[in-house]
Amino acid sequence: MQALILSIVLTVASSAKVTWLPNSNFNSPKNFKDGKLPCSKQTVIFPERVQGAVRFQSDNLAKELILPITGEMLLEGALYLGGVDSKEECVEENKYFIDKTVTSWAYPDVWASPRFNEATPDAERVPCSDDSVEFPSNSEFSLFLPELTQHIQELKIGNQYYDTVTFKDRALEENTAQQFYHNNHQTTGVVVEENKCRSQANRGCPCQEFTLEINCESKYCAVPACSQPIKPIGHCCKVCGGAVSFEREQSFHYMEFKEFVDKIVASYKDSSIVYHVGIIPPNTVQVVIVEKGEYTGLSTVIANDIDGQLSRHWYLGVEALKVSGAPLSSSGSGFKIALSMLSAVILVFGGVYAYYYKLPSPREFLPSLPAFGRGSSAGLLSRFDRRTESIVSLTRRDSTATVASGAGFATAFRNPLYDSKRGRVNVMDSDVDDDKKQ
């Protein structure tokens, strides 16, 4: 009796309601990239092509609309462009409308559930065999049903519940606000039945016979706020945080391992940390840890802690750890400072190099003068250089340069090495000179 009660409790605890999100209503915040409706200072940008009709059902505010090339807009309420609203937090920016009117069961971001959080991989954001699936009332969409059979526990469209047979009849209907497309008339790809799976070792998407391949092409990926972001298994986008994955043993128990992770995360006492423990077919366990709001790097510290405390009895084979780098807010500022210092050094040395070696010296040439006297040159070439310290005097320090009238200029010069040699060498008169003197 106790075992039966425990089994029922575990089954109820693991099941959840999964709600279909796509809706072509302009007034739904979920149809905008940031999950918020536009205000009077913001420009709404639609995709180039909208598959279904976008419905404006109440008063709407926006600065302007950038409409699609093709698509249909149904205006049932007022639309105020460039008006003024009372929202003090309204900031001038672009708002992007996401077309979710024609989607697939296996698209990312089309299902919502309390068991999903920021760390849940896109591959696991689909209904599981013990989930209750609900399509909201007054929603318009076209849905391609899964090609591989998916089991769910309950199905509700609006206020009406369906089983496998009645849902098939509903899906064959035409001219309704909710259009369901499937491959053949024999099955819809959705089986509604009571979940008979009781194995807690198979959590992740428990007891789903076929795993769907998520189409990541429709996923919008924001730029991660960290250096070297990671891409955990099943994620469409790179994220900031940490991930630990390993191949589980046959004796692995999901709930026991989750309690192990719970204790480590709780020890840090930080409400911004969220994590997900999932089973990736056929036999891989993955823990993904991220942070809500601003990324600080704490999630990577916790991932390292889990990896360090991971007991050998949890896994066999390969065990891997992935962690992202520092926040861009800190690593970016350090990089900018280093880049600025490097640029300053390069500019200084570049200026010195160009000044002394590359830039041509400004020169002025005096016109050629006629030669005077024997031995004089044909003319005079004088250079005036702005680098006065580079001018070398060619006149002896103790000599007097005189110009004889009519005899040209003196040809005396000063040897720059003369003084240094004179200090080190005693110049002796040769015998030849002595003989001449006699």
Residues 436, 395 share a domain: yes
Query: What is the SS3 assignment for 321-379?
Result: EEECCCEHHHHHHHHHHHHHHHHHHHHHHHHHHHHHHHCCCCCCCCCCCCCCCCCCCCC
pLDDT of residue 428: 46
Same domain for 198 and 230, yes or no, is no
Domain contains 403 = yes
Q: Within a domain: residue 198? A: yes
Same domain, 128 and 210: yes
From 138-147, 166-175, 399-408, 429-438, the region with the lowest mean pLDDT: 399-408
Q: Does 230 lie in the same domain as 209? A: no
Q: Are residues 226 and 212 in the same domain?
A: no
Residue 29 lies in a domain: no
Mean pLDDT, the chain, integer: 76
DSSP secondary structure string for all residues of 138-201: T--EEEEPPSS-EEESEEEETTEEE-HHHHHHHHT--SSSEEEE-S-SS--SEEE-------GG
Confidence of residue 427 (pLDDT cuts 50, 70, 90): very low
pLDDT digits (tens, 9 = 90+) for 141-195: 788 999 899 999 999 998 999 999 999 998 888 667 778 888 777 789 999 998 7
Residue 359 lies in a domain: no
Domain end position, chosen among 300, 326, 352: 326
- Does residue 79 belong to any structural domain of this protein? no
| Entry pTM | 0.62
Higher pLDDT, 233 or 36: 233
How far apart are alpha carbons 51 and 141 in whole angstroms?
A: 10
CB 248 within 8 A of CB 282: no
Give percent above pLDDT 70 in the chain.
Answer: 67
Closest-CA residue to 366 (of 384, 348, 344): 384
For residues 202 and 120, membership in a common domain is answered with: yes
Establish if 235 belongs to a structural domain: yes
Distance CA 344, CA 179 (A): 63
Same domain, 197 and 117: yes
Please indicate, yes or no, if residue 239 is contained in any of the structural domains: yes
What's the whole-number mean pLDDT along residues 31-40? 86
Question: In which element (H, E) is residue 94 found?
Answer: strand 94-96
Residue 289 CB coordination number (10 Å): 30
Using the Cα atoms of residue 132, residue 135, residue 141 and residue 142 in order, give the sign of their dihedral.
Answer: positive
Whether residue 75 is contained in a domain is answered as no
Please report the pLDDT score of residue 231 as a whole number: 97
d(CA 319, CA 246): 4
Residue 317 scores a pLDDT above 50? yes
The domain that holds 315 is classified in CATH as 3.30.70
How large is the average pLDDT for residues 392-403?
A: 42
Give the highest mean pLDDT range of 7-16, 135-144, 176-185, 322-331: 322-331
Neighbouring C-beta atoms of residue 21, cutoff 10 Å: 19
Cα–Cα distance, 135 to 26 (Å, whole number): 18
Distance of CA 160 to the CA centre of its chain: 42
Q: Is the dihedral of CA 283, 284, 287, 292 positive or negative?
A: negative
Q: Which of 14-23, 154-163, 421-430 has the highest mean pLDDT?
A: 154-163
Query: Domain containing 243: what range?
Result: 221-326
The arithmetic mean of pLDDT across residues 78-106, rounded, is 80
Confidence check: pLDDT of 333 > 70: no
Q: What's the domain count of the chain? A: 3
Pick the range with the lowest mean pLDDT from 193-197, 260-264, 281-285, 322-326.
Answer: 193-197
pLDDT in tens, 334-390: 555 555 666 777 776 776 666 666 555 444 444 444 444 444 444 433 443 444 444
Residues 371, 320, single domain; the answer is: no
